[in-house]
Structure 1
Protein backbone atom coordinates (compact mmCIF):
# COMPACT_ATOMS: atom_id res chain seq x y z
CA UNK A 1 0.00 0.00 0.00
CA UNK A 2 1.30 3.37 -1.01
CA UNK A 3 -0.50 6.16 0.89
CA UNK A 4 0.30 8.54 -1.97
CA UNK A 5 -0.89 6.03 -4.57
CA UNK A 6 -4.06 5.92 -6.57
CA UNK A 7 -7.44 5.03 -5.20
CA UNK A 8 -8.81 2.35 -7.50
CA UNK A 9 -12.59 2.60 -7.79
CA UNK A 10 -14.52 -0.15 -9.53
CA UNK A 11 -18.04 1.06 -10.16
CA UNK A 12 -20.18 0.37 -13.22
CA UNK A 13 -22.83 3.04 -12.55
CA UNK A 14 -21.87 6.39 -14.11
CA UNK A 15 -23.98 8.43 -11.68
CA UNK A 16 -22.33 6.71 -8.70
CA UNK A 17 -18.88 7.39 -10.22
CA UNK A 18 -19.78 11.07 -10.58
CA UNK A 19 -21.00 11.26 -6.97
CA UNK A 20 -17.85 9.53 -5.74
CA UNK A 21 -15.63 11.95 -7.65
CA UNK A 22 -17.59 14.92 -6.27
CA UNK A 23 -17.12 13.57 -2.73
CA UNK A 24 -13.39 12.97 -3.22
CA UNK A 25 -12.98 16.51 -4.55
CA UNK A 26 -14.80 17.84 -1.48
CA UNK A 27 -12.54 15.81 0.82
CA UNK A 28 -9.42 17.22 -0.82
CA UNK A 29 -7.23 14.12 -0.69
CA UNK A 30 -4.41 14.41 -3.21
CA UNK A 31 -4.62 10.77 -4.34
CA UNK A 32 -5.43 10.36 -8.01
CA UNK A 33 -8.52 8.25 -8.62
CA UNK A 34 -8.65 5.57 -11.32
CA UNK A 35 -12.16 4.41 -12.24
CA UNK A 36 -13.06 1.08 -13.82
CA UNK A 37 -16.47 -0.18 -14.91
CA UNK A 38 -15.76 -3.87 -14.35
CA UNK A 39 -13.49 -6.22 -12.46
CA UNK A 40 -11.72 -7.51 -15.56
CA UNK A 41 -10.38 -4.10 -16.61
CA UNK A 42 -9.37 -3.30 -13.03
CA UNK A 43 -7.50 -6.63 -12.80
CA UNK A 44 -5.62 -5.95 -16.04
CA UNK A 45 -4.63 -2.52 -14.72
CA UNK A 46 -3.52 -3.86 -11.34
CA UNK A 47 -1.39 -6.57 -12.96
CA UNK A 48 0.51 -4.00 -15.04
CA UNK A 49 3.76 -2.53 -13.66
CA UNK A 50 2.30 0.70 -12.28
CA UNK A 51 3.05 2.30 -8.94
CA UNK A 52 1.31 0.58 -6.07
CA UNK A 53 -2.18 1.94 -5.33
CA UNK A 54 -3.35 3.21 -1.98
CA UNK A 55 -6.55 1.20 -1.82
CA UNK A 56 -9.30 -0.45 -3.85
CA UNK A 57 -12.98 0.43 -3.49
CA UNK A 58 -15.15 -2.07 -5.33
CA UNK A 59 -18.82 -2.52 -6.00
CA UNK A 60 -20.06 -6.11 -5.77
CA UNK A 61 -22.29 -6.41 -8.83
CA UNK A 62 -20.10 -5.67 -11.83
CA UNK A 63 -20.16 -6.81 -15.45
CA UNK A 64 -17.65 -9.40 -16.79
CA UNK A 65 -16.04 -10.04 -13.40
CA UNK A 66 -17.85 -9.10 -10.21
CA UNK A 67 -16.21 -7.66 -7.11
CA UNK A 68 -16.02 -11.01 -5.32
CA UNK A 69 -14.30 -12.69 -8.29
CA UNK A 70 -11.85 -9.80 -8.58
CA UNK A 71 -11.06 -10.01 -4.87
CA UNK A 72 -10.45 -13.75 -5.24
CA UNK A 73 -8.08 -13.17 -8.16
CA UNK A 74 -6.14 -10.51 -6.25
CA UNK A 75 -5.98 -12.55 -3.06
CA UNK A 76 -4.27 -15.41 -4.91
CA UNK A 77 -1.57 -13.09 -6.29
CA UNK A 78 1.21 -13.29 -3.69
CA UNK A 79 2.89 -10.08 -4.87
CA UNK A 80 -0.33 -8.08 -4.57
CA UNK A 81 -1.11 -9.67 -1.19
CA UNK A 82 2.37 -8.77 0.06
CA UNK A 83 1.77 -5.09 -0.66
CA UNK A 84 -1.22 -5.02 1.68
CA UNK A 85 -3.39 -2.99 -0.69
CA UNK A 86 -6.73 -2.79 1.13
CA UNK A 87 -9.65 -4.27 -0.80
CA UNK A 88 -12.88 -2.70 0.39
CA UNK A 89 -16.42 -3.08 -0.85
CA UNK A 90 -18.50 0.04 -1.34
CA UNK A 91 -21.83 -1.09 -2.69
CA UNK A 92 -25.47 -0.05 -2.94
CA UNK A 93 -26.89 -3.17 -1.43
CA UNK A 94 -25.94 -6.54 -0.13
CA UNK A 95 -27.11 -9.71 1.44
CA UNK A 96 -25.74 -11.35 4.55
CA UNK A 97 -24.09 -13.88 2.22
CA UNK A 98 -22.28 -11.06 0.37
CA UNK A 99 -20.78 -9.81 3.63
CA UNK A 100 -19.75 -13.30 4.78
CA UNK A 101 -18.23 -14.10 1.37
CA UNK A 102 -16.38 -10.77 1.26
CA UNK A 103 -14.61 -11.29 4.56
CA UNK A 104 -13.91 -14.96 3.83
CA UNK A 105 -12.06 -13.79 0.69
CA UNK A 106 -9.82 -11.41 2.64
CA UNK A 107 -11.72 -8.16 2.08
CA UNK A 108 -10.70 -5.55 4.65
CA UNK A 109 -14.02 -3.75 4.76
CA UNK A 110 -17.60 -3.80 3.56
CA UNK A 111 -19.58 -0.56 3.35
CA UNK A 112 -23.06 0.22 2.08
CA UNK A 113 -23.13 3.47 0.11
CA UNK A 114 -25.01 6.08 2.09
CA UNK A 115 -27.96 7.78 0.41
CA UNK A 116 -26.69 11.34 0.77
CA UNK A 117 -23.43 12.98 -0.33
CA UNK A 118 -22.97 14.32 3.22
CA UNK A 119 -23.09 10.79 4.67
CA UNK A 120 -20.85 9.50 1.87
CA UNK A 121 -18.30 12.22 2.69
CA UNK A 122 -18.29 11.04 6.30
CA UNK A 123 -17.94 7.37 5.32
CA UNK A 124 -15.12 7.93 2.83
CA UNK A 125 -13.28 10.24 5.22
CA UNK A 126 -13.39 7.54 7.91
CA UNK A 127 -12.15 4.91 5.43
CA UNK A 128 -9.29 7.01 4.06
CA UNK A 129 -8.19 8.35 7.44
CA UNK A 130 -8.10 4.83 8.88
CA UNK A 131 -5.91 3.46 6.09
CA UNK A 132 -3.59 6.48 6.19
CA UNK A 133 -2.42 5.42 9.66
CA UNK A 134 -2.74 1.64 9.40
CA UNK A 135 0.46 -0.43 9.39
CA UNK A 136 0.67 -3.01 6.61
CA UNK A 137 3.09 -5.85 5.75
CA UNK A 138 5.02 -4.11 2.95
CA UNK A 139 5.98 -1.32 5.37
CA UNK A 140 7.50 -3.65 7.95
CA UNK A 141 11.04 -2.56 7.10
CA UNK A 142 10.44 1.10 7.96
CA UNK A 143 12.98 2.46 10.39
CA UNK A 144 10.26 3.51 12.84
CA UNK A 145 9.53 -0.14 13.58
Structure 2
Protein backbone atom coordinates (compact mmCIF):
# COMPACT_ATOMS: atom_id res chain seq x y z
CA UNK A 1 0.00 0.00 0.00
CA UNK A 2 2.97 2.35 0.56
CA UNK A 3 3.81 2.41 -3.16
CA UNK A 4 0.21 3.30 -4.01
CA UNK A 5 -0.06 6.19 -1.55
CA UNK A 6 3.37 7.77 -1.29
CA UNK A 7 4.25 11.02 -3.00
CA UNK A 8 7.89 9.91 -2.93
CA UNK A 9 9.36 8.65 -6.19
CA UNK A 10 11.58 5.69 -5.32
CA UNK A 11 14.16 5.12 -8.02
CA UNK A 12 14.94 1.49 -7.08
CA UNK A 13 13.47 -1.39 -5.08
CA UNK A 14 16.24 -3.59 -3.68
CA UNK A 15 14.44 -6.61 -2.25
CA UNK A 16 15.26 -9.83 -0.42
CA UNK A 17 13.29 -12.98 -1.20
CA UNK A 18 13.09 -13.96 2.48
CA UNK A 19 10.94 -11.41 4.29
CA UNK A 20 8.66 -11.87 7.33
CA UNK A 21 5.20 -10.80 6.10
CA UNK A 22 5.35 -11.63 2.40
CA UNK A 23 8.15 -13.05 0.32
CA UNK A 24 10.02 -10.90 -2.16
CA UNK A 25 8.52 -13.02 -4.95
CA UNK A 26 5.03 -12.23 -3.63
CA UNK A 27 5.87 -8.52 -3.43
CA UNK A 28 7.19 -8.50 -7.00
CA UNK A 29 4.12 -10.39 -8.21
CA UNK A 30 1.87 -7.87 -6.45
CA UNK A 31 3.64 -4.95 -8.15
CA UNK A 32 3.83 -6.72 -11.52
CA UNK A 33 0.10 -7.60 -11.50
CA UNK A 34 -1.06 -4.10 -10.50
CA UNK A 35 -1.41 -1.78 -13.53
CA UNK A 36 -0.92 1.38 -11.46
CA UNK A 37 2.23 0.12 -9.72
CA UNK A 38 3.66 -1.42 -12.89
CA UNK A 39 3.29 1.92 -14.72
CA UNK A 40 5.41 3.59 -12.03
CA UNK A 41 8.33 1.71 -13.68
CA UNK A 42 10.33 1.39 -10.47
CA UNK A 43 13.31 -0.89 -11.17
CA UNK A 44 13.09 -4.04 -9.05
CA UNK A 45 16.26 -5.93 -8.11
CA UNK A 46 16.59 -8.99 -5.89
CA UNK A 47 19.50 -9.10 -3.44
CA UNK A 48 19.20 -12.33 -1.51
CA UNK A 49 20.76 -15.50 -0.17
CA UNK A 50 18.00 -17.57 -1.83
CA UNK A 51 19.46 -18.18 -5.24
CA UNK A 52 17.73 -21.44 -6.10
CA UNK A 53 17.10 -22.10 -9.78
CA UNK A 54 13.35 -21.87 -9.09
CA UNK A 55 13.68 -18.49 -7.35
CA UNK A 56 15.71 -17.12 -10.26
CA UNK A 57 13.18 -18.45 -12.80
CA UNK A 58 10.25 -17.02 -10.81
CA UNK A 59 11.95 -13.64 -10.53
CA UNK A 60 12.73 -13.24 -14.21
CA UNK A 61 9.25 -14.42 -15.24
CA UNK A 62 8.07 -11.23 -13.53
CA UNK A 63 10.52 -9.01 -15.40
CA UNK A 64 12.92 -8.13 -12.58
CA UNK A 65 15.86 -5.96 -13.56
CA UNK A 66 18.44 -8.00 -11.66
CA UNK A 67 19.08 -10.90 -9.30
CA UNK A 68 22.17 -10.82 -7.08
CA UNK A 69 23.39 -13.17 -4.35
CA UNK A 70 24.33 -11.54 -1.05
CA UNK A 71 28.02 -11.47 -0.30
CA UNK A 72 29.56 -11.85 3.14
CA UNK A 73 32.38 -9.40 2.47
CA UNK A 74 31.34 -5.82 3.38
CA UNK A 75 33.64 -4.38 0.71
CA UNK A 76 31.93 -6.47 -2.00
CA UNK A 77 28.48 -5.58 -0.65
CA UNK A 78 29.29 -1.87 -0.73
CA UNK A 79 30.71 -2.12 -4.27
CA UNK A 80 27.67 -3.96 -5.60
CA UNK A 81 25.16 -1.62 -3.98
CA UNK A 82 27.12 1.42 -5.22
CA UNK A 83 27.13 -0.02 -8.76
CA UNK A 84 23.37 -0.65 -8.66
CA UNK A 85 22.57 2.78 -7.27
CA UNK A 86 24.88 4.56 -9.73
CA UNK A 87 23.38 2.70 -12.68
CA UNK A 88 19.73 3.34 -11.78
CA UNK A 89 20.33 6.97 -10.80
CA UNK A 90 21.53 7.62 -14.34
CA UNK A 91 19.02 5.41 -16.17
CA UNK A 92 16.01 7.18 -17.71
CA UNK A 93 12.58 5.63 -17.23
CA UNK A 94 8.93 6.80 -17.26
CA UNK A 95 8.80 7.35 -13.49
CA UNK A 96 11.07 10.40 -13.70
Task: Tell me the TM-score normalised to structure 2 length.
Answer: 0.89
Q: Does 1:47 align with 2:1?
A: no
CA RMSD of aligned residues (A): 1.4
Q: Which has the larger radius of gyration?
A: 1
Task: Tell me the TM-score normalised to structure 1 length.
Answer: 0.61
Which residue matches 1:126? 83
Residue segments in structure 1 that go unaligned for 5+ positions in a row: 1-43, 140-145
| CA–CA distance in structure 1, aligned partners of residues 59 and 70 of structure 2 | 16
CA 1:106–1:113: 2 relative to 1, 3 Å: same
Residue segments in structure 2 that go unaligned for 5+ positions in a row: none
Q: Does 1:66 align with 2:23?
A: yes
Q: Which has the higher contact order (CA 8 A, sep 6+)?
A: 2
Q: Give 4+ residue runs of structure 1 displaced > 6 Å after superposition.
A: none
Aligned residues: 96
